[in-house]
Structures are given as structure tokens and as C-alpha cells.
A and B are shown apart, each in its own frame.
Chain A
Amino acid sequence: MGAMTIEAMGLANLTHKVVVGIADMAVSNNATVTLATHALGSCIGVSVFDPVARVGGLLHYMLPVCSIDMAKAKSQPQMFGDSGIAALFRSAYDLGAQKHRMILCAAGGAQVMDASGVFNIGRRNYDILKQIAQEHGLKITGEHVGGTVSRTMYLQVGNGEVRIRISGQAEEIILCKQLKNS
């Protein structure tokens, strides 16, 4: 007898949350998984989802480029935007995702009130994502970035829905709607 699917076991509505910490990422093709990352201050959360392969991934990077610390870039590439985004896509490809189908969302990149722009790490974190997306012809489908708020980001792997919650607010904001046939 072959292995039973989640659906056949009647467990399709059961979900479990996988928390992605700072400078970390997770990729899954398990329809019951919701990937979540908390407390995005100036960091950026990036989600990818392939609606055909039903593969989703979530990255929480802290700094824009890995040239800041090459040793860390090797041991923890998810800490940086450039090396982290590359690692996120590679891991999604390993599960069957394809670049041209990938739906991209982003949240975070908050800033302090700094007219001089000296402490603009949040902005630089966002800029590197925009630059990489442009270089690879990728569109950012939904985003909620900048401002002075801290955010939590969720990706439901089963249907591709991306939501965020702003710290201090109860209601969630949908960045990417779930698939119609999910």
C-alpha cells in the first residue's frame, strides 16, 4: 500500500507554523505548513511561492550585502540580502520551483526618523531586493515596507497566501491572495 496523502487522511485543514528566525530561512512543499517570521524591524522578509510546484519559502535577512562580512556570508548566507535571496531561490529550485513562476512578496525595512539618511539600513535592505529582482526580471507582487513599524510576515504554503501583521495592530493585511483552486 502506498503512503497516504495528507488529504486522504483528512488532515488537509491541519496546519502547523514553522518560525523563521532572524538571518534564517525555510522552504517547504508541505501544504499544511505556514512559514512565519516575527519582528521585522529594519530587516526584510522575502517570500517566494511557485503555484505550480506548490513550493514556498521565506527569508529574514538583516543586512544588505555579504561583502560586509565574508566569513559570515559563508557560514550564514541568510544574514544578507544578496547571498540570502540567492540561497532562498536555490532551495526552492531543489524542491521543484521554477524562477519564471515564482511569486515574490516583501515586508519590513522600517526606518528611524532620520532626515540625514545616515541610519538608513532599512532602506538599503529594501534597495538590494529591488535591484536583484530587477536584474532577474522578477516582479514583487505584494509589499509592505518602510515606515516606523515592526512587522510579522506569514506565507501559507498550501495556497500561497501572504499576510503581514503590524506590531500593535490586531488585524492582518493580505499581501498576496490565496490561489483560487487551493
Chain B
Amino acid sequence: MQTIEEFISNAKALPPAPTFLARLMVLLNKPDTDSMKVVDLITYDPALTASVVRRCNSAYYGFVSPVDNVQEAVTRLGFWEIYRIVVMCSTTRMLSPAQKGYGMEANELWDHSVATALAAEQIAKDLGDDEAAAFTAGLLHDIGKVMLSQQLEDTYIKLLVEVEQNGSSLLEAERKFLGFDHANAGGHLLAHWKFPANLVAAVWFHHKPSLGKPHQRLASYVYLGNLIAHFMGHGYGGHALALKGRSEVLEILDIPVDRLPYYMIKTMEQIEAVRSIFNMKT
């Protein structure tokens, strides 16, 4: 059985690197970055610029006069709102295709990823942490599935049988048949693409955040975001909820379990807003 490093080096086709997103993450991690530098980076990509401007002119925002450019969009909607739109626009193409190896139809991984990102963001925001990192890590947390899906197309049914007959989690079943799982595959992929260490760790350890030190808080936001997305039905394929409950994340974040319903309600409100901008399912 090959290792994840061997898998990546032997892979004929990895998902196309989101070079814009990697550059954006590096830029945001620099202490002297201001919003103008980010706007410059966005406008360097005409297709992305057009997509962002189109979203800003959706009925949801209700502008009487349309937004013409990214700078104006930042002025009207604020940097954070534009950041979210930009990150979602730049990952849509990568996350939208069907992932047959995981039993997911077109747009289902995208829908799950956005729901996870919004939930992770809400929790980080509530606890005064970096909501941009939580949102981005949430959006990318299953990127490993994009890489492994093709490999699993003939094995998917065996994964489900393993869950049903032996009570394994989907992650354990992946490890049994592949030798590694989508979480460490995703972490490796982001590291390969030169993403910042906190995002790599959060994706790598999103199913076991306590191992993600020193970024275990960020990994915990993604873990809970993923859980909330599944609870709310934004999860797909057979046995979508066959994942381990990790109560230690509540200790890492120092929150009571009673807080989860509040985050679910907040996430639902955010999904409603994003759905009208990005045509997500209800």
C-alpha cells in the first residue's frame, strides 16, 4: 500500500492548484497588507473580478446603482464580505464537480464546504478568533476528497460495507483501503501548494483537532463546522455522518455543548444569505 507522499508524486492529475488563493493567503499573513493590495491581486484576474462584481450586484445586496469594480465593492460591502465572496468564487470550480468516489453529485461537495465554512466562521467570530482563517479552512477542509475521489470510484461500495458491517468511521474505512485518509491527503495537498501552516494543520487534523498543535483551535472550528454542516443536512453520500464525535474540541475551545444550537441557528441565517448570492440548495 502506498503512502500519501507516494500517491501525490505518482498521481497523473492532481486538482489544479488554486494559485490565486495561495497568493491571497500569503498576502493576508503579512503584517503590512492593506485592502488595496488585496484589491490589486483580485483585479489582476479578469475572470475572478467579473465573477466578484456579478455577485456584488445580486438582488440580495439590493444596490440601486450597480457596482462596477472591486474597489467600489470593498467600499460598499466592506473588506470581509468581499473576502468571503472572493474565496468562494475562486474555489467554486474546484469543489463543484461530482465526486463519484464519495457518492457525491455535482455541487454537493461545494454545498457541504460552504456550510462548513460558514459554521466554522460563526464559531471563530463568537470566540474572538480569526474568522477569515476559520472560513477558508472550512471551505477547503475536504479538498483531499477531490484528489482521492477517482481512486475510490471502484472502492466506494467497500467503504460503505466496512462502515455498515464493522461500525468503522468513513475515515477509518479510507485508511483501511487506501493507507491514508482525505484529511491528511488534503493537508499534504495544501502544503504542496504552499498554503500557510495554520490552514494546512486545520485541514490535516479536521477530524482529530487535538493532534493539530499549535493550530488545534483552528482545526476545532473546522471540526465543529463540519459536524454542524452534517447535522443540518449539508453532507452527502452514504453514511455521511459516520464520523467520530470528539468531545475534546469543546474543551479546546472552552465552550459548553449547549452552544452548538446557537451556532446552528447562526449558520442557517448565513447559509440563507449566501444561497441567494451563489444559488445554493435549500
A→B interface (CB under 8 Å): 19, 21-23, 38-43, 62-63, 68-69, 72, 79, 110-116, 118-119, 121-122, 147-150, 166-169
Contact = CB atoms under 8 A, between A and B. Distances in A.
Interface string B197-238: 000000000000000000000000000000100111111111
4 tightest A-B CB contacts, nearest first = A114-B245, A168-B238, A39-B233, A42-B231
Contacts of A150: 230, 233, 235-236, 240-241
Given A118-B257, A119-B260, A110 B241 contact: yes
B160 A168 contact: yes
B230 A72 contact: no
A148 B233 contact: no
Given A62-B264, A148-B241, A168-B237, 17 more contacts: A22-B233, A41-B241, A79-B268, A112-B243, A113-B167, A113-B169, A113-B242, A113-B243, A114-B244, A118-B257, A119-B227, A119-B257, A149-B241, A167-B103, A168-B103, A168-B160, A168-B240
Contact of A148 (B163, B261, B265): B163
Contacts of B10: none
Contacts of A19: 282
Contacts of B232: 22, 39, 41-43, 62
A111 B282 contact: no
A94 to B, nearest CB: 25
A23 B268 contact: yes
Contact of B239 (A23, A43, A148): A148
How many interface residues does chain B have, given as a range?
20 to 34
Interface string B148-178: 0000000000001001000101000000000
Contacts of A79: 265, 268
Nearest to B237: A168
Name the prevailing secondary structure of the A interface residues. loop
Nearest to B247: A118
B250 interface: yes
A62 B230 CA distance: 12
Contacts of B230: 41-42, 112, 150
B239 A149 contact: yes
B265 to A, nearest CB: 6
A41 B235 contact: yes
A9 B16 CA distance: 56
B44 interface: no
Contacts of A41: 230-235, 240-241
Given A113-B169, A113-B245, A167-B240, A40 B261 contact: no
A116 B238 contact: no
Contact of B234 (A39, A72, A112): A39
B242 to A, nearest CB: 4
B265 A72 contact: yes
Contacts of A113: 167, 169, 242-245
B262 interface: yes
